[in-house]
Structures are given as C-alpha cells and as structure tokens.
Amino acid sequence: MVLGTTSGAGKSWLTTALCRWYSNQGLKVAPFKAQNMSNNARVVPGPGGMGADAGGFGAWGEIGSAQYFQALAARAVPEVRMNPLLLKPEADTKSQVVLMGQVSAELTALPWRGRSERVWPQIAAALDALRAENDVVVIEGAGSPAEINLHASDIVNMRVARHSDARCLLVTDIDRGGAFAHLYGTWALLPEDERALIHGFVLNKFRGDAALLAPAPQMLQELTGVPTVATIPLQWHHGLPEEDGVFDMTPTLGTGVSSLPPEGALAARGGPSPLAGRSTAAGAVYTTVAVIAYPRISNLDEFQPLKNVPGVRLQWVRSPADLAALGAADWVVLPGSKATASDLAWLRAQGLDGAIATHAARGGRVLGVCGGLQMLGEALIDTDGIDGNAPGLGLLPLVTAFARDKTVRLTRTRWGTLAGPWSALSGVDVSGYEIHHGQTAQHPAMAARGDVAREVMPGLAWTNAAGNVLGVYLHGMFEDTAVLHALFGTRAPTLDSVFDGLAQSAEACFAPGVLAALIAHPAPGTTPAAA
C-alpha cells in the first residue's frame, strides 16, 4: 500500500509505477483505492461484466482516472471494484457519491461521517475479491493516514491497511520542505499497531545533492525503526496526467514534458535541461491551445496527450489577460465541468465570455467538451434541480436539458463531414467515453429562423455554420491516435511506453530487493517486517 504524508505527495504516480513493475515480473496485478475524491473519472465495466453496451451483463460505471491508468499499467481491465467509492465535488461542501460505479442519491444526502459504515462492506468485499483473483494488489491511500479528525471514520487509509495486512510505504514530497518532519509526525500520530505496517519511507520529488540528506534518514530510522527505502528525483516528464487539479499553470511545449522547469533545474541534479539539445525546428510552437480552467473543471486529464505532442503548447487560462498573453491562441477549449451553470457564471464574471466570443468571431477554433459543449449553446434548462438554469454563450444554436439519469458509457463512432478548421476530422473513427446529465438538441425556434447547427456526430457533436466552433460530448478523443494524427500529423508517446518508463524510474530509485520483499511471503517464524 502506498500512503502519503499529504495530498500531492506522489501516491498515484508511485502506485502506477509499481503496478507496471510488478506486472513486468510476470505477476497478475490490480490497483485499488477505496475512496477517491476527484472530478476526473473514467467509464469502466460495472459489477458483473463488461457493461451492457458491450454485450456483457453489467452496467457501465465510473472510477477515478488515477485507478483507470493504474489498471492499464497493471495490464488489467479497469473496473469499478478498483475504486468502489468515488466522490465528485459539486461545490465546496457537497459531493456527488458514486458507489460501485453508480450514483447514489441516498449516500449523497448523508453527512460525510455518516457514510463510512454504510459503504465499508462494499469496499471490503471489492478489496477481498481483487486479492483473491490477483497475485498482487497495489493499494493507494488518500491524503494523509494520520489526520486525527478523520482517523475514527477512516475507510481509505489505515482501515484498509489493517483489513488487508498491507505492507505500506509512506511517501513525502521533499520539494515542499519539511519532509522528515512530515514522515516522523505521520508515523508518530498513528497507533502502535498501525505503525507496524509501515515498511519504508520514500522521499519523492527530490532535486539537488543526495549527500546532503545525511544523517537525516539514519536518524529517522533510529527514531522510528523504519528505513528510508527510496529517494525519487522530481519527475518533469513522466507523461501521466496529474490525478487532480490544474497541474500546470505555465506554458508547456509538447515534447513529452509534463511541465517545463527553470532552465538548468534538471542539470542541478545531474540530468540534462529539458531545453538542452532541442533544435529550433523541434522547439517551435505550431499550435497554442488555451484551456479555460474554471473552478469545477472535470476530466482535465484527457488533455495530457496534447502536452505530449511536439509543437503543441497547452496553457490553462483563468482570465482574459491570460488569454491575451498567449497572443493569437489557435484553439480555445471549454472542458468538462461538474457544475456547468456555476462554472458558466464564473466564466462570465471573469469576462471570458466576451474574449471567447471575439476569438470565435475572428474565425479562431473553439472546442467545447461535454459541459463545455453545453455552455456553447443558447440555454441550459434544469427542471429537476440537477445543475441549474442559465443562458448559454450563444455560439451554437443548441439547448441542453438536464436529466436525473446520468449517461455513462463507452462510445466508438465516426466523425461525419466537417467544414472549416476542423475538417481534418472528417470520416475519422474515434473512441471515447460519455459522462453527462445533460441532453442536447437543436434550438427549435432558431431552427425555424434558419439557424441550424450542423450535426457531425449523431447526438454527440455539432458545429456552427462557419465550422470553427465545435461542441462534442465525447471525452478522451485526444487519447485516440487516429484523432491526434488527423489534427497534428503525429502521434504522442504510447501509454505502454509511459508505464514502462515509470517502472524503470521507480526500480532505479529503490534500494535493492525492497520491491520484491514487499510482496514476499515471510518464512515460518518471521514477521512481515523481517521479510
């Protein structure tokens, strides 16, 4: 099990790397996270099979994107047992609760601490089943395991560790400072029986001279009995999307680089600068993509492939000034949202509605994905209190009505004929996924006046008459190699190559034998710690 001293310590990254490393040893591996809080979700098979749309006998469900990628790293089929509880924040004090892949209105209405005992049986059953079916289960914790206000109702950290007798690694972000205090404080706040499950400390995001760490690791081991088993350098270009949040507020040139550090930052720890050796042609920016980063942005991980495409610069934008600073951005993207009406109101309050309209009027490309598509239309209609009513941006003659039932499914389809800037997509086969409450259709009064949206993917995508404004319900289309090739004439690194790189990086950072010892069966008469 991978625990962290804080959120953002590197649990998801390390869990993904370990899933691939153990899989590379010829083992059957599955990831698990009891509870995830994220608006980055993926559609996967639900209980009982491959999903009704695929001819199975289960329903499609949702899990956090991190567990989806961890499953792929493990060479396993992603499914809802790998993340039985998903909390999707809709406001600062409210989250939609997804249990075993399905939205639960009853659990959503319960107080936070009131859910724990209600959901624990399903969590434990999912974990037990995965353990029975696999050689190795790599479990990810959440936040910190030692938060004393949450420990009594914990269902994601030490309760899971105790239930499965997991051998735990505790990861800290040394780049933030205070790493040894974080490790010691977390260990010290745990009850003695839970401390015994901590088998190693991991220093993550390190840059500098490793010799300067001494004597802290040895002193920490003397205080706790726990060795520091790995020091992992800051990973600038691992190629995975971050689990949550807007993960890069600086411009990124697509070269497989997740975010560009200051020139020479890698050289300071013995590696090359990410800019070193790059020719002028290779470093040229051919396409600038501005993604609007509203407060309840969702599924932002689907844009990671754009960050890996040579010549593409992706920038998160939160104001007209941010957009203006990019000069003539080639694309403006309105991504998904967990609170479409609220995020649309925020967008207007920033003055971004006018900036987007001006960009579109000049013929610039505008792309709306899911919630972004809904914003591009004329109106949002909500008669059931799902999301909220609001006037749209009016860039597409469409209207969206919110429904109580959520559409959750994998989709494979084909683009129709597109005119204008998006014409390269015409006739291209595409795979992706849908997660939305809204149902969108042509605005009838506008159609009567002759203002008709061009449907370029049945029930899923529309453009304006000029062809430069495109709205689509399909998430994940930039992960489709055919779409990337059509738009950019190139391909991003494959996920398999990314996962293998993570595994190699992790293996190089751990002390010899540690990764094998974490899953070894102890000899008779020994304890797991001795193994």
Q: Would you please indicate which residues are annotated as catalytic (active-site) residues?
A: 370, 475
Per DSSP, helices labelled H in 105-248 are 105-109, 116-133, 158-164, 179-189, 192-195, 216-224
Cβ atoms 180, 206 nearer than 8 A: no
In this structure, which amino acid lies at residue 263? E
What Rg value do the Cα atoms of the chain yield, rounded? 24
The two structure tokens encoding residue 68:
């989806």
The two structure tokens encoding residue 91:
């406001």
Cβ atoms 44, 63 nearer than 8 A: yes
d(CA 119, CA 160): 13
- Three-state DSSP state, 164: helix
Single out the residue of 170, 290, 306, 189 nearest to residue 230, CA to CA: 170
Number of Cβ within a 10 Å radius of residue 401: 17
CB environment 149-175: b (16+ within 10 A), e (fewer): ebbeebbbbbbbbebbebbbbbbbbbe
d(CA 378, CA 399): 6
